[in-house]
Amino acid sequence: MAFAEKVLNDSSNIQQEDIDNLAEHGFSEEDILNIALTATSRSFFSRVVDAMGFQPPPAWLDKLQAKLGTETFKTLNVGRVYSQE
C-alpha cells in the first residue's frame, strides 16, 4: 500500500529501494508494474469523473454501500463527496 501511495503522491522520488522492498516481499516485476498501473489508472479515472462533475444516481451508491459494507464504502469513496439524498 505504501508503494501505491508513493506512486500517487511522490512518484518522482520512487527509488530502486522501493522496488527492491516489494521484490523482497515476493512481488514480481509484473506485479509491481500492475500495482503502479492500478494506482495511477484509478487516480486518472477519479480525476476525470470529478472534472466532468459526474454524480452517480443515489440508488447506485446505496447498492454499492450494501455490497461493500459501510466501512469499506467510506474508505473507497475518495475525491468528490457524493450525496445519497
Q: What would the pLDDT profile of 39-65 be if each residue is shown by its tens digit? A: 999 889 888 988 898 888 989 989 999
* Distance linking the first and last C-alpha atoms of the chain: 32
The position carrying cell 469513496 is 77
pLDDT (average), residues 56-82: 84
Exposed, middle or buried: residue 6 (CB in 10 Å: 0-12, 13-18, 19+)? middle
- Mean residue pLDDT of the chain comes to 89
Domain boundaries, the chain: 1-54, 55-85
Q: How far apart are CA 42 and CA 26, in angstroms?
A: 24
